[in-house]
Amino acid sequence: SIPSIYRNLFELINLHGIDKLTLAVFVPLFESNVLTKTILNQV
């Protein structure tokens, strides 16, 4: 199942009609940001 934060992001993006290029750039940045925070929290 998709985490609710991703569903919320998708709804927000669809609502504002942000194009897929923005999504393609934003999602990896968002994921790496979350990963970085997760790693830092474990240190």
Domain boundaries, the chain: 4-42
Distance between CA atoms of residues 19 and 23, nearest Å: 7
The verdict on pTM exceeding 0.85 is no
pLDDT at 8: 84
pLDDT at 21: 66
Give the helix/strand (H/E) hosting 31.
helix 20-42
pLDDT digits (tens, 9 = 90+) for 1-43: 668 888 887 787 776 666 776 777 888 888 888 888 888 888 7
pLDDT at 18: 67
DSSP-derived secondary structure letter, 17: T
